[in-house]
Amino acid sequence: MRKTKIIGNEAEDAVIRFLVSKGYRLLVRNFSVHNMGELDVVMTKDDDLFVVEVKSRLEGTLYADPAGSITRSKQKKMLNTTRVLISKYGLFDKNVHFLAGCVTHRRDGMIQNVEIIPF
């Protein structure tokens, strides 16, 4: 497995651990619909569904607002993929929220910080 894929998986793990510690439950990870898109992490809490796009950044690098780095095209793909997920799991009664899970890591991959930002 490539190093970037390993770091990406560890970033997703960190976001899941963080949200679970806040009372969220994991519904699905890496939900993919062919020719449509992929959802990194999907969590539930009470009557809410949280779709999380995970962004991993190297510590010490400057970058724009992580939620701002999620393009209109990516948002559209996420929305369409979320519609399929809602239908597949019968989640029509859930309020849907889209979040950016920004994970900062060191060069060796060690996670330094997890921040959740709505978009």
93-106 per-position pLDDT tens digit: 999 999 999 998 88
Per-residue confidence (pLDDT) for residue 57, from 0 to 100: 84
Per-residue confidence (pLDDT) for residue 109, from 0 to 100: 76
Within 8 A by CB and 6+ apart from 88, the residues are none
Which has the closest alpha carbon to 115: 74, 69, 64, 56?
56
Per-residue confidence (pLDDT) for residue 68, from 0 to 100: 73
Domains and CATH numbers, the chain: 3-118 (3.40.1350.10)
Per-residue confidence (pLDDT) for residue 59, from 0 to 100: 81
Q: Give the whole-angstrom CA distance, residue 107 versus residue 118.
A: 27
Per-residue confidence (pLDDT) for residue 5, from 0 to 100: 84
**Ranges of residues in the chain whose predicted pLDDT is under 70:** 1, 62-67
